[in-house]
Structure 1
Amino acid sequence: MVTSVFADEPLFPQAPGVVSYTYRNEFPKDFAGTLDKIVSLGITDIEFSNLFGKTAAEIRVMLDERGMQCSSFGVSYVDLQTKTNEVAANATTLGASFVRVAWIPNRQPFTLELAEQTTREFNEIGRRLKNEFGLTFCYHNHGYEFAKHGDGTLFDVLMAQTNPNDVFVELDILWVQFPGADPVEILQKYGSRIKLMHLKDLKKGVVGDLSGKTAVENDVALGDGQIDIPAVLAAAKKAGVEHYYIEDESPSIDVQVPKSIAYLKSL
């Protein structure tokens, strides 16, 4: 069993994990070696958003061999809607408790009509995953949901019109900051609806928009960017966030991921 470098970290209910997307270029080349690399950093929790040509059973064996876990399984919206049984089976095999979707295709720019359509679909998906498979559905925000609507945003519409017992959030703090919202305010407002979090930081000076897209080079090591990470972590702890995943989409992960880990330890 690996001893995490975060073992004594009071900010987290358990050690932060990592999103497989961070190592999307490494996993296809050497899956086992990439797991070993992640373990060497003291990280044992992974959110897989791709099986990289492996079966869920094959991945589970490799995780078990290393004392690792997959707590969340990310899938495409199409697969979630049309292959729900397969998605649930893979999540269960991996050992995940959460199923996450991070992008809704062909709904950008987001409108009130699209938001209301999405809430109806989310309610059905969340109900099925919970009642039929014992899994928790989380939606990962991606920026475009923060379009203004009334006194709030369309993200508020998503939250207001989804069943709080069936639909939860994986809060990606970069994709809250990028469209001009405040991750701390979102955590304070929605509290226990936020079960998971992507820890990432946005390069200083970058001005965002509602596109849900930015250059990968704009991902920087935690503490080097615009986001007030200590304030976010304090709010997340109070909200009861269960799993935290470092995500770094940049081409500099060999430098930035260890730097992010060191920064979190310094807190």
Structure 2
Amino acid sequence: MKRRDVVKWMGLAAVTSACPTVLSSSNPYFQKPGLQLFTVMKLLDQDFEGTLSAVQGIGYRTVETVGAFGKPASQVKELLQQYNLYTPSQHLMPGTLYQDFSAYNQGKIGWDEIVKRFTYAFDFNRVEYFIEEAIGRAQTLGQDYIVWQLNWLPEYGKKELKQHVKAFNTAGKMCKEAGLQFAFHNHDHEFTSVGDTTYYDLLVQNTAPDLVQLEMDFMWATFAGADPVVYLKRYADRYKMVHLKDLTKDRKITIPGKGTENFQNLLSVSEQVGVQYAFVEFDQPNAPMQEIAEAYNYLTRIKKP
């Protein structure tokens, strides 16, 4: 991240700042989109401070962290405060998993290896350890939510369902005792049918509502053939956060506004059911700063139906 790029994206912010906000919610953190910083992870690894400056320059004020980026949480807190970025939530990064993702981004390891390391990092026998680790980070960063990004593999079944339910309830209890909230984030395979329901529904229905909240990724639900609006209404009291990315007609991930998702309706329903934060996330960025700027520009221009 070169300093001239920071100036470039701050210039774009001057254009977007005059745009109407996406919603009229009384929650100031839901009026404009936030950013899941995984989207700019490569840039953060190259120039952490410069990237935060550019993110802030575009107009983002709310960010969701990826653990503490392999850094001391106190250092991350100082830099977020320096650039006026508020962080209410983190995705879990047990042990050295962040460094593993960095190695993947640098082309040192492949995707299959990342899946193996991800599964190992979320060992069910070590739940108490890595949740305690995350709680410490969250308390330092001043966050309210700890999110388990679900990696439901196609071969999983009832055994893994029970393991996840137990782990989620344990994590939820630990977070509640620490004054925090626990949530899990969906992808696509968990919407696989089992009888007349899905594994996702069973995960929600078998975890304690007072301990386990939800973060809906609209695109991955749509990709799986599920209707995000149906789920927002079905478990209206559980959804606290949503992720914003889009899906093209040929089923490719893209940034909001470039695909088929109806964000006006999705965000309107999210507001109605009490979602607190909406984060832009793009799993496969090519030009991260340009893409998150375009996403911010689009989302701050659209209006409710």
Quickly name the TM-score band, shorter chain normalised: 0.7 to 0.9
In the other structure, the counterpart of 1:84 is 131
In the alignment, structure 1 residue 44 sits paired with structure 2 residue 61: yes
> Is 2:242–2:277's contact at 8 Å kept on the other side of the alignment?
yes
Q: Which has the higher contact order (CA 8 A, sep 6+)?
A: 2
Offset at residue 263 of structure 1 (A): 1.4
- Whichever structure has more helix as a proportion of its residues is 2
Q: Does 1:199 align with 2:244?
A: yes
- The CA distance in 2 between the partners of 1:99 and 1:80, in whole Å, is 13
In the alignment, the residues of structure 1 paired with residue 54 and residue 199 of structure 2 have an alpha-carbon distance, to the nearest angstrom, of 39
Q: Percent identity?
A: 27
2:171 is aligned, of 125, 132, 146, to 125
Correspondence 1:238 to 2:272: yes
Question: Greater shift after overlay, 256-265 or 157-166?
Answer: 256-265
Aligned length: 253
Paired amino acid for 2:66: S
One-letter identity of the residue aligned with 2:197: G
Q: How does 1:83-232 map to 2 (within 5 A)?
A: 83-104=130-151, 107-131=153-177, 133-206=178-251, 218-232=252-266
Range with bigger deviation, 32-41 or 96-105: 96-105
What secondary structure is seen at the aligned counterpart in 2 of 1:137?
A: strand
Task: Check 1:251–1:11 CA distance in 2 against 1; reply closer, same or farther (3 A cut).
Answer: farther
Q: Quick check: 1:184–1:232 contact (8 Å CA) kept in 2?
A: yes
| Alignment-mate amino acid for residue 267 of structure 2 | L
Distance in 1 of aligned mates of 2:20 and 2:80: 19
Moved more, 254-263 or 156-165: 254-263
Q: CA deviation at 1:69?
A: 1.3
Gaps of 5+ in 2: 1-12, 94-121
Is the contact made by 2:127 and 2:167 (CA closer than 8 Å) also made in structure 1? no
Q: Find 2:80's aligned residue among 53, 63, 74.
A: 63
Q: Which residue does 2:5 correspond to in 1?
A: none
After superposition, the C-alpha distances for 1:82-113 in whole angstroms (9 at most, x for unaligned) are 233221111111111000111347x5423133
Aligned residue for 1:253?
288
Deviations 1:32-91 (A, max 9, x none): 100000000111111111433321000101111222111101114347542332211111
